[in-house]
Structures are given as C-alpha cells and as structure tokens.
C-alpha cells in the first residue's frame, strides 16, 4: 500500500497538448488521481503557450519555462536551480525523448539537491534507440522489422536493393512517413533531417494491427507494471486518438523480455505490430510515458505514481492486474485563461497559483 504523501512536490515536463500531445498532461492527471497524493504539481514547459499550463483540471500549483534541450545541460542546470529555489522539488518526471540525455546527465547532482528521478541510464537509452533496434531484438528475443540506418542522401537510392517498398522513414526522435519509392523516400529523408537531424531510419513496412504497451521497469530486470492498448483510431499524424486496454499475453511477454534484457529503469512505451499471420513485431521503444498513459491509471495501474515511489527509493509491489476493455477517446478543448497568466510566463518565465483546496 502506498504511503500518504501530502507534502510531496512533483515536477512534470511535456505540457504541449495539441493534436500531437506530449505526455505531461496524462502524467499529471494520473498523479492527481492517486488517493494517497495530496501534494503539489509543478509544470516545466518550453513555451508560454503550452496548453497544459492553463488546464484547471490538472490543477498545476506552479508553472515554469525551462530552456529547450538544444541549449545544453548547463542552461537546464541553472534553470532547475532557480526553480528549485523558488519552489522546492522532490521528484521530476521528464516526458520527452529529446530532453532525457540532459536530465540523465544531471541526475546525480539533482539527487544531491534532494530532487529525485527514475530514469534509464545513458547505456540503456542508447540501446533502445531506433538505430539499434535490431541489436535490441536479438538481445531480448523479440522479432523486429528489417531496417537500415541512413547517414546521407545517397543511402536512400540504395535502399531498393536491400529492402522492398513500401518503407517507413523515421527520425531519430520523432516522425514517421510511409514511402512507396525512391523519390518519396528521398523527400522524406530530407524533411526528417531538416527537423530532427541524422541518422534517419528506413524500416520495412508491415500491415497489421497496431498495439502499444505502457510499462515501467524497476531497474533490476523486473516489470513494475504494464498495460497494453490496441489503437482504435489514428489522427492524421498517425497518433492514437482512441484505444482500448487489452489482455494479450504476447504483449506483456514482450515487455517482460525487454526489461529482462535491458534492466530498464523507469517508464517506456513499446510499439508492437501484430501481422495478419499472427507475428508480433517490435517496431520501436519510446523511453518515456506516452501521451495516453492516463488510460493505465483508469484501467487500474497508476504507473506515474509507481515511478514517483521508485524515484523516492521505495520498492512497491509490482502492478499486475488491470481492467481490460477500459477505453480512452481523446478530445480537443479550448482552455480559458487570463492574459495576466500569459504575461507572467512570457516575461518572468513562471506562473504561481494559490492552492484552492484539496
């Protein structure tokens, strides 16, 4: 049973909640749903118009702007030092791929401040990278699609001799486009490089049913919890807009194998495709919570709260049960806020709110 944490302050990143939402809002909703948590939640955002900053439902106690990952570790360190002095933090849950290297680098120093995280190591983060998916599949005993890592435009025109079209062209952090020939592949390559840089990954396309598994590794090769989800509706960007929790032993076994092979520490999302022949292909592993992670809490496994407890050094019992058939359907809402809130964030980089009650 989780101990009451009435005075805990948890900071969460990734508050952009557009048609391609970041995970922060789902993580915060999960924390707010935990009966034993009555503490404060602080939002760490990259833009004053990140809509999660203005959501009254998630009840942020404070919001702060932090520097973009491209500004480096030192800029993040100094900003977090200022935030911690203004609002002392106990736990930070980063939720974006691109910011993880900096937070991992700062983890020992933040711990000396009394700020805790539960993140993968640098080696674990690199092993699950899209460029090393084949190596991960061999180590974990999981089938993965054939793929090639592209480092220049010339590689694109050699693809046809190695992999049959159609292919999926992916960025190192985000983005995926299905292409049907060399010209489409070249256009996708250049667009991906312009946005995310090198390398670019070309992966064989397989038709089938799309599943995701949100899970947490305990850092010792075990699984602290996992909830698989079948995608029911996709947005025009290919993101899950509706999904349902399913109890498929193959999906849960894939997560267990991943944790056993990597001793993964913290949250992750496994993207898995079930082909028409019944094969389960690991498409990629995202090293953080997905935007739909509130479904896990709704189905009975509050995984963000499990990560909080692990970050604090507790050893919670593994979460094993959840209610299959629990559904999520994403909606878009207009957040109403005051211009004073925007001015405070844009000029001072912070927004502090008085608590209105539990």
In a domain, 15, yes or no: yes
pLDDT at 280 over 80: yes
Res 153: pLDDT: 84
Query: Are the C-beta atoms of residues 305 and 216 closer than 8 Å to each other?
Result: no
Q: In this predicted model, what pLDDT tens digit does every residue of 137-147 receive, in sequence order?
A: 999 999 999 99
Regarding whether 254 and 185 lie in a shared domain, the answer is no
Res 234: pLDDT: 86
pLDDT at 323 over 60: yes
Regarding whether 49 and 161 lie in a shared domain, the answer is no
pLDDT at 6 over 80: no
pTM of structure: 0.92
CATH number, domain at 253?
A: 3.30.470.20
Res 355: pLDDT: 56
Regarding whether 218 and 168 lie in a shared domain, the answer is no
Q: Count of domains in the chain?
A: 3
Distance of CA 193 to the CA centre of its chain: 22
pLDDT at 3 over 80: no
∠ CA 244-51-36, nearest 5°, is 60
Regarding whether 103 and 21 lie in a shared domain, the answer is yes
352 or 236, greater pLDDT: 352
Regarding whether 107 and 29 lie in a shared domain, the answer is yes
In a domain, 134, yes or no: no
In a domain, 316, yes or no: yes
pLDDT at 357 over 70: no
Distance separating alpha carbons of residues 103 and 94, to the nearest angstrom: 8
E strand spans, the chain: 9-13, 40-45, 62-65, 91-93, 147-150, 167-170, 176-179, 200-204, 208-218, 223-234, 240-245, 265-275, 280-286, 327-329, 350-352
Quote the domain boundaries for residue 323: 124-128+207-329
The mean pLDDT of 143-167, rounded to a whole number, is 89
Regarding whether 108 and 94 lie in a shared domain, the answer is yes
Regarding whether 230 and 254 lie in a shared domain, the answer is yes
The most confident of 79-83, 157-161, 333-337, by mean pLDDT? 79-83
Res 1: pLDDT: 42
In a domain, 256, yes or no: yes
Distance separating alpha carbons of residues 49 and 46, to the nearest angstrom: 9
In a domain, 341, yes or no: yes
Distance separating alpha carbons of residues 32 and 61, to the nearest angstrom: 12
CATH number, domain at 172?
A: 3.30.1490.20
Distance separating alpha carbons of residues 227 and 189, to the nearest angstrom: 33
3-state helix, strand and coil shares in percent for the chain, rounded to the nearest 5: 35, 25, 40
Range name among 219-228, 229-238, 342-351 with the lowest pLDDT average: 229-238
In a domain, 135, yes or no: no
pLDDT band at 198, cuts 50/70/90? confident
Regarding whether 224 and 320 lie in a shared domain, the answer is yes
In a domain, 24, yes or no: yes
The mean pLDDT of 107-126, rounded to a whole number, is 98
pLDDT at 236 over 50: yes
Res 196: pLDDT: 83
Query: Are the C-beta atoms of residues 51 and 45 closer than 8 Å to each other?
Result: no
pLDDT band at 18, cuts 50/70/90? confident
């Amino acid at each position: 049973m989780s101990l009451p944490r009435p005075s805990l302050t948890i900071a969460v990143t990734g508050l952009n909640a557009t048609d391609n939402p970041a995970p922060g809002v789902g993580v915060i909703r999960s924390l707010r749903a935990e009966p034993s948590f009555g503490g404060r939640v602080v939002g760490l955002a990259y833009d004053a118009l990140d809509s999660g900053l203005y959501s009254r439902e998630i009840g942020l106690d404070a919001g702060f702007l932090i520097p973009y990952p491209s500004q480096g570790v030192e800029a993040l360190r100094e900003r977090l030092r200022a935030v911690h002095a203004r609002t002392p933090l106990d736990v930070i849950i980063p939720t974006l791929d691109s910011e993880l290297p900096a937070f991992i680098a700062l983890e020992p120093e933040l711990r000396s401040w009394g700020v805790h995280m539960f993140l993968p190591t640098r080696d674990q983060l690199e092993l699950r990278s899209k460029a090393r998916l084949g190596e991960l599949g061999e180590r974990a005993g999981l089938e993965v699609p054939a793929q090639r890592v592209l480092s220049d435009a010339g590689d694109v025109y050699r693809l046809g001799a190695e992999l049959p079209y159609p292919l999926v062209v992916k960025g190192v952090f985000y983005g995926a486009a299905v292409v049907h020939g060399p010209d489409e592949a070249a256009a996708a390559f250049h667009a991906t490089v312009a946005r995310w840089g090198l390398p670019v990954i070309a992966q064989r396309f397989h038709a089938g049913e799309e599943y995701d598994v949100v899970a947490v590794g305990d850092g010792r090769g075990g699984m602290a919890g996992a909830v698989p989800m079948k995608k029911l509706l996709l947005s025009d960007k290919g993101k899950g807009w509706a999904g349902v929790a399913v109890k498929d032993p193959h999906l849960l076994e894939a997560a267990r194998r991943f944790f056993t092979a990597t001793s993964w520490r913290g949250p992750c999302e496994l993207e898995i495709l079930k082909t028409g022949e019944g094969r389960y292909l690991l498409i990629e592993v995202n090293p953080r919570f997905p935007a739909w992670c509130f479904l896990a809490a709704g189905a009975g496994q509050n995984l963000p709260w499990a990560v909080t407890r692990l970050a604090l050094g507790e050893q919670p019992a593994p979460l094993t049960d959840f209610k299959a058939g629990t559904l999520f359907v994403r909606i878009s809402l207009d957040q109403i806020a005051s211009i004073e809130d925007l001015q405070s964030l844009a000029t001072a980089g912070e927004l502090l709110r008085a608590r209105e009650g539990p």
